[in-house]
Chain A
Amino acid sequence: MPAETVPAETVPAETFPAETVPARSGPAPAMLAKITLMEFRLFVRDIVGPALIVVLPIALLLGFGLMPGGTRASKDLAGQSAAEYIASIDVGLVLVVLGFTILPSVISDYREKGVLRRLGTTPVRPSRLLLAQLLIYSVSALLVVALVVVFGNAVFGTPIPERSGYFVLAVLLGMGALFGIGLVVAAVAPSGKAGSAIGMALFFPSMLLGGVYIPREKEAAAMRAIGDYTPLGATLKTVRDSWQGLDPHPAQLAALAAYAVVAIAAAVRLFRWESK
């Protein structure tokens, strides 16, 4: 990345004028750390984002867990308790809120404002800002998932995910698919407003098809069949299965991986650093 100072004697005199002092950029890892810390502060300052990804999942868990019979296994929920069921919904919710609503609106807003362009004139590459954003959202998502698991277990006795390897895989693939699609939106949306509008247009149908509004068990079979292969639906199903000790469906894991690969490749191809 940033070129370090070249020893003066190796540089031909005509390209290294005597009156020009060697100038250097800051060290790359320190720059990334600084940017990430700054982006994290801005994220926290936003209040809405942290509320949606931390407060909302815990509130849902409390709400459903404290309902009468909220911790009792239910036939309507394939043998899970309401608390268990909502805990796996929480995992999908955190990933989809970050991926479909926050990520596209923040990044397209940065493009619209010229933040990426301005960075382009400094020793830092604008891609570092995207990397910082992805770091913040993925680490936040993993922390919230861990919080939901631990909190649910401690307060409502929800199990620690039984197929833990599959659980982690499902969370990571779900993150790849949902964040990847969010990046495609961020890549093409011309403004922050457009980014959040497109994100919302994906968010609500995903929630419906994924079985967030109505438990999956109560959906019509056809809707369930489609829903299980949508990015959010497949995330929820594989997370939920592995949580209660079932092997997730390989086709659903494969679908998530495919969404992730295709979306990320498309985002890389389509991404624009500046608005027209």
Chain B
Amino acid sequence: MPVIEVRNLHKRYRERGAVEDVSFTVERGEIFGILGPNGAGKTTTVECVEGLRRPDRGTVSVLGFDPVRDAAEVRVRLGAQLQESRLPNRMRVGEALELYASFYADPADPAELLDVLDLTAQRNTRFAKLSGGQQQRLSIALALIGGPEVAVLDELTTGLDPQARRDTWETVERIRDRGVTVLLVTHFMEEAERLCDRLALIDAGRVVAVDSPAGLVARVEPERRIRIAFRPSAPLPDALLRDLPEVRSVERRGDRVVVTGTPEVLHAVTAVLARNHIIAADLRVGQTGLDDAFVALTGRTLED
């Protein structure tokens, strides 16, 4: 049986972030992502899972319990890291962990958790003196201190620098390796691609698709899988490329040409360029990513 099951969830409490119809299931031991633009309803959805909000319609089940009716059961088994949640400025790291540990009959070992989250050196540091990454890791530690079976992490790398973001991703993988099922909310493609076993794409309060990152990418037409971008050394008529059977589209972005097509497109394009004595400067070749999948499935980009 799934660890989390959300069926036809509907919740409307403010204009932004309303949930129209969301269904998905999370299996034990996976990192399941909820990906979508800001205001798509991601946070509202997980707040219903955490029991912080009561759904207007639909059902939510966490380990077989209803987060509203069986709130006490869910709260001891689910750890939550909330978006933009801080602690009192003068509370020390070690104090916070010990305090939250006392809320549970059988908590995780605070010292070990500090070690896993690389916060041992900050044990006696006040919350206000921590860096953004350290505050975020402490937040994760508090979500895990009860020894939960499920951890819900909402936008945990927002506002972090790239290095802190990568460190936090490693932390999430370590959590999963401890046997915790992770529900991860994010609007970063890279984060979803790197961490999630499966993910639900959410747009305007509805689930657009649920699949593995690779599965979602595979939904993009095969003819568009490869993207080449370069700056031609001499004028290059679009028709030269467009007439190639491997090419699906040709676009101009400033002085750069962007070509998409089948996996053979790179060879075909370079052959044409060589024949016309044109050199491709700044050549980049990329595969379709989740962002392309999101555009293909919703007609919008994530940043909209």
Contacts and interface: CB of A to CB of B under 8 A. Distances in A.
Contact of A38 (B75, B95, B146): B95
A109 B1 CA distance: 41
B88 A115 contact: yes
Report whether over half of chain B's contact residues are helix, strand or loop; otherwise say mixed. Answer: loop
A200 to B, nearest CB: 20
Contacts of B24: none
A38 B76 contact: no
Interface stretch (B99-107, B113-121, B232-240): B99-107
Most buried by B among A23, A27, A38: A23
A124 B88 contact: no
Nearest to A110: B88
B64 A14 contact: yes
B52 A115 contact: no
Interface in B172-209: none
B36 interface: no
Contact of B103 (A25, A109, A114, A115): A25
Nearest to B102: A34
B169 interface: no
A121 B75 contact: yes
B84 A114 contact: yes
B78 interface: yes
Contacts of A121: 50-52, 75, 78-80, 82
A20 B64 contact: yes
A17 B64 contact: yes
Interface string B51-74: 110000000000111000000110
A122 B63 CA distance: 16
Chain B interface bracket (under 10, 10 to 19, 20 to 34, 35 or more): 35 or more
A157 B99 CA distance: 45
Interface in A14-57: 14-17, 19-20, 23-27, 30-31, 34-35, 38, 41-42, 45-46
Interface in A70-114: 109-110, 113-114
A3 B73 contact: yes
Given A3-B73, A121-B52, A121-B75, A26 B102 contact: yes
A163 interface: no
Nearest to B63: A20
A42 B88 contact: yes
A35 B149 CA distance: 25
A20 B149 contact: yes
Interface string B30-66: 0000000000000000000011100000000001110
A24 B77 contact: no
A272 interface: no
Interface in B96-134: 99-100, 102-106
12 contacts: A1-B72, A15-B65, A23-B105, A25-B103, A38-B91, A41-B95, A46-B90, A114-B82, A114-B86, A120-B52, A121-B50, A121-B80
